[in-house]
Structure 1
Amino acid sequence: MVRTFFRKMLRYLSSEDDSDDDLDEDVEEHCTCRRRKFVRRNHIQGHERLYHDYFVENPVYPSNLFRRRFRMSRPLFLCILNEVVANEPYFVQRRDNIGRLGLSSMQKITVALRMLAYGVSADFMDEYIHISESAAMESLKKFCETIVSIFSAEYLRAPPVNYTINGHDYTMGYYLADGIYHKWQTFVKTTPSPRGNKNKHFAKAQESARKDVE
């Protein structure tokens, strides 16, 4: 089921390039072609800002804010980053044809996680991370594919699920989630501002179990 979820996510993502991709200004184009807008992003500045905000010994934002914004602890993020970089060359920082350093692994993985956690658009993190829309989309696709490849055998097993509630038979599992996630059938979210004993009991039980899952 989890693999199916990631496959649906990948199919859902648009593969179209954005109009402000990082292109070489010196490239000549025919007059009949539409010239794509060039945005000179400072990838190094974007990486340094991210690194000093969250990953130095005394970061700007402490561990509790890291967990809130990344939906995981800093050690877990670094563990995932190291595994992803070791198994997928796309996330290794490289230089382009004229020697400029490209996006770092932290930038690519951070934008992928923010898009998954918050459901934001591909260019939402551009001003902070300094990443184009097309690069953000590519990072998300590569990240999902790599996570499935590395961790599916241990953490994404998704064994067959069969259970009955109120006389109804179910053959799919589900995930307990909070309000930030998409409205998909596989996500069971809590009731905001519950009224009545039934809704209050459900919200309390859901939130208590969700903490263990997270």
Structure 2
Amino acid sequence: MFRRRFRMSRNLFLRIVDGIQNHDVYSIQRSDSLGRLGLSTNQKATDALRMLVYALPVDATDEYIQIGESTAIQCMQRFCRAIVEVFAEQYLRLLTANDVARLLYIGKQRGFPRMLGSLDCMHRRWKNCPTAWAGQYAGRSGSPTIILEAVADYDLWIWHAYFGMPRTNNDINVLESSSLFSNLAQRIALPAHYNIGSKEYDVGYYLADSIYPKWSTIVQTIHAPRGQKKQYFAMKQESCRKDVERAFGVLQSRFAIVASPARDWKKNHLHDIMKHAL
């Protein structure tokens, strides 16, 4: 029952509660001047998680946890910020040599030696986008959205995420603005030596769709493939590239707040919510 309601195990919930309690004094239960105890850490964490997992309105948890609307908003904001500051270094970090070796091994087993993951973008609707910003955040659909760029592997581990670009940008603009290839441009990327034909490469590559530029670090599919070899390559590339699409689907199903229109007014709060979910 605990896993069904909280979308996580009890041990994971207690680990999160201990982490934010040791990091942010706001989450600690305190008493007022009359000696009355305030909200406990479990109540604050439960309120934040129910809004994140089920996309509940702010006042929907009032009867369940006995918490006011303004306090519920503050609890979720402080909860997401604490999660990012405590756990981001462990889960949202640069690749290590062991991580690269594991990704290269998985790519080789799937028929793409030296593949580091699948690259793509998703859009999250911003319902309460400020009117002054609506023009740059609204694209052809007419609704303001914010772009999330991510790289995911077969295990749905999103090891690169870049969130915050307006909807009027395409995937190429997001790629140029993100830090995905910044280390590669500075010649400090982890090595991944391999050969394709008679040509040698010293960096890994990513699977992406046709909108991305034709770089040596991005492998696209073949449109209208002719011949058995090209058809087989297109089939394998498209099947492996769906890793990041599966990751987006699991992310939105696990945290309904990511799939629903964002009701926050400030962009930094949306950024913390997205990084918390990742």
TM-score by length of 2: 0.39
How far apart are residue 179 of structure 1 and its match?
A: 7.9
How far apart are residue 123 of structure 1 and its match?
A: 1.1
Aligned amino acid, residue 46 of structure 2: T
How far apart are residue 176 of structure 1 and its match?
A: 3.1
Aligned amino acid, residue 102 of structure 1: G
Of 252, 259, 269, the match for 1:183: 259
Provide the rounded CA distance (Å) in 2 between the counterparts of 1:91 and 1:102: 10
Compared CA separation, residues 89 and 168, structure 1 to 2 (3 A): same
Number of the residue aligned with 2:111: none
Aligned amino acid, residue 61 of structure 2: M
How far apart are residue 165 of structure 1 and its match?
A: 3.7
How far apart are residue 140 of structure 1 and its match?
A: 0.3
Alignment of 1:1-214 (within 5 A): 65-157=1-93, 158-159=159-160, 160=180, 163-169=206-212, 175-177=248-250, 178=253, 181=256, 182-183=258-259
Number of the residue aligned with 1:60: none
Structure 1 unpaired stretches of 5+:
1-64, 185-213
Provide the rounded CA distance (Å) in 2 between the counterparts of 1:81 and 1:179: 19
- Per-residue CA deviation, residues 132-177 of structure 1 (Å, 9 max, x unaligned), is 0111111000001100110111112243387344423299x65332
Aligned amino acid, residue 87 of structure 1: H
The alignment partner of 1:139 has SS state of helix
CA RMSD of aligned residues (A): 2.8
Provide the rounded CA distance (Å) in 1 between the counterparts of 2:254 and 2:11: 25
> Is the CA contact 1:163–1:169 (under 8 Å) kept in the aligned structure 2?
no
The alignment partner of 2:21 has SS state of helix
Compared CA separation, residues 145 and 131, structure 1 to 2 (3 A): same
> Is the CA contact 2:20–2:27 (under 8 Å) kept in the aligned structure 1?
yes
* Percent identity over paired residues: 42
Provide the rounded CA distance (Å) in 2 between the counterparts of 1:88 and 1:121: 24
TM-score by length of 1: 0.50
How far apart are residue 70 of structure 1 and its match?
A: 0.5
How far apart are residue 97 of structure 1 and its match?
A: 1.3
Compared CA separation, residues 82 and 183, structure 1 to 2 (3 A): closer
> Is the CA contact 1:111–1:140 (under 8 Å) kept in the aligned structure 2?
yes
Moved over 4 A (4+): none
User: By percentage of residues, which structure has more strand?
Assistant: 2
Provide the rounded CA distance (Å) in 1 between the counterparts of 2:4 and 2:82: 24
The alignment partner of 1:124 has SS state of helix
Aligned amino acid, residue 97 of structure 1: S
Provide the rounded CA distance (Å) in 2 between the counterparts of 1:92 and 1:166: 47
Provide the rounded CA distance (Å) in 2 between the counterparts of 1:142 and 1:80: 13
Say which one has the larger Rg.
Answer: 2
- Per-residue CA deviation, residues 56-105 of structure 1 (Å, 9 max, x unaligned), is xxxxxxxxx11111010001000110111011100110001111100000
Provide the rounded CA distance (Å) in 2 between the counterparts of 1:105 and 1:67: 19
Provide the rounded CA distance (Å) in 1 between the counterparts of 2:66 and 2:10: 21
Structure 2 unpaired stretches of 5+:
94-158, 161-179, 182-204, 219-243, 261-277
The alignment partner of 2:39 has SS state of coil
Aligned amino acid, residue 259 of structure 2: K
